[in-house]
Structure 1
Amino acid sequence: MFLGLQLFARALGLPDTAWPLFAAPWALLALLLTLPWRLRRVWGEPAPWRRLGVVVPVGAALRALLRGLGGAALLLGPISVLLLWSGLARWQPALSGAQLANALALGLGVGFAEELLFRGWLWGELADHLGAGRSALAQAAVFSLVHARPDLRAAGLLGLLVG
């Protein structure tokens, strides 16, 4: 569907750089509409959004959010400081409102869609066949392959794939 929508964007005369931006919201909408149906039908799940972790008690959601933000700060903070200190990165604080809105929409939208697709649906499907441990590894491998960059040489790609 995603590729078909990109071809549709081309037929509309949109520039090449806009094709993924045109197709992504429609692909996300299709995922949101069909995923609960699949979980009900195939998994026999009466509460698909709860099973996927989308519907949770507010307290649990806030605790998970704070744990995630804290973990991210602990992991990314020192790396960011080192990159800025070494001169390999530069702070560019001037963002327009449109750039900030775009960054938030992409970060939240893409993050939500990927978590739902890879850690929600795919992991659940694989767990039925492989068990919890092996399905986590298989899901991570699929995630890595989907995000592989074809412009990287073998060593760089291997580094990305194995962490």
Structure 2
Amino acid sequence: MQWIPTITLFLFLYPAGWFISQFFFLFNREISSNNLSILGTIITFILFLILLPSWGRKRWKTNDIWLSIGLDFKNKYTALKIFFNGFIFSVFLIIILFIFFLLSGWIDRVDSIKFIQLLNAILLIVGIVFAEEMIFRGWLMEEMVLLVGMRRGMIFQSAIFSLAHYRSDLSLSALIPFLTGLFLFGIVLTFRRIIDKGSLWGCIGLHGGLVGIWYLFDSGMVSFSIDTPYFLLGPSRNMVNPIGSVIGIIILLITIFFQRRLFSRTGRFLASTVNASSKDETP
């Protein structure tokens, strides 16, 4: 029975967001279906933010929902430090990827960054990445800890994160490595929160850095050779995203290996406001 609120929350929010967005279509019938879908998603997230404090009080028995999901706004210096630690790690991972392609001779040209591209990259971090981390590594991870414990919760949360990015336009041979990479990325981000002792800011920095920097690469900053094996850029020729590439998956697996070792030295999971099972503390 404890699963019912978790499942029904977004079964309610998504239709509500879609329904409210239809009112904008009544006033502007020239709005595209894609923009209408984006608007519906934004409305859904706003509704989520409105309901979140009440959810925390009734479901998790906490009055500080933002601290519970890892967003401590009180100590801004610590939050910035953790954010930039995550961001710097994302830069490190991108540099590894860049050097690999550079030494392999698969980079034709490196251009300067345009201001509008940089602005879009920042908006990706502030908007989409921040929202995803709040939902998946914040709210959903706390729910999974409550329902199944931390170890299994990490697996379930990462699997849901992966499946939420399902792409119907990808073939099965491209979809499998893409979802596999996203699942591993979910594990990496969850470990990031554990290592940061519950703070979500490192996850936002790491996730945002990878998404934002790769957006700059894909927007023309880096031109890859047409001879580059597509499975290394991944997951297909029509979708260049290293999260689903062979090299990307290898980097994620190596990262998880070292994160586990670091976790063994940092100790227990975050001091969650939910009642995590004490017997399920080690991933």
Q: Which has the higher contact order (CA 8 A, sep 6+)?
A: 2
When the two chains are superposed, the root-mean-square deviation of aligned CA atoms in Å is 2.3
Structure 2 residue aligned with 1:140: 158
Asked if 2 retains the 8 angstrom alpha-carbon contact of 1:9 and 1:23, the reply is: no
CA distance in 1, matches of 2:156, 2:147: 11
Structure 2 residue aligned with 1:161: 179
Aligned to 1:21, which of 14, 25, 38?
38
1:111-150 equivalences in 2 (<5 Å): 111-150=129-168
1:1-163 equivalences in 2 (<5 Å): 1-5=16-20, 7-11=22-26, 12-13=28-29, 14-56=31-73, 57-83=75-101, 86-87=106-107, 91=110, 93=112, 95-97=114-116, 99-163=117-181
Change over 3 Å in CA distance of 1:6–1:80 after alignment to 2:
farther
Deviations 1:93-147, CA, capped at 9 Å, x for gaps: 35354x5434422331111111111111111111111100100110000000000
Which structure dedicates a bigger proportion of its chain to helix? 1
CA distance in 2, matches of 1:134, 1:151: 30
Asked if 2 retains the 8 angstrom alpha-carbon contact of 1:123 and 1:139, the reply is: yes
Task: Give percent identity, aligned residues only.
Answer: 27
1:70 maps to a residue whose letter is I
Deviations 1:50-70, CA, capped at 9 Å, x for gaps: 111112422321221121012
Change over 3 Å in CA distance of 1:144–1:5 after alignment to 2:
farther
Asked if 2 retains the 8 angstrom alpha-carbon contact of 1:39 and 1:48, the reply is: yes
Give the paired residue count: 161
Q: TM-score under structure 1 normalisation?
A: 0.84
Structure 2 stretches lacking a partner, 5+ long: 1-15, 182-283
Change over 3 Å in CA distance of 1:135–1:54 after alignment to 2:
same
CA distance in 2, matches of 1:46, 1:122: 18
2:165 maps to a residue whose letter is H
Asked if 2 retains the 8 angstrom alpha-carbon contact of 1:10 and 1:16, the reply is: no
Asked if 1 retains the 8 angstrom alpha-carbon contact of 2:18 and 2:41, the reply is: no
CA distance in 2, matches of 1:46, 1:114: 22
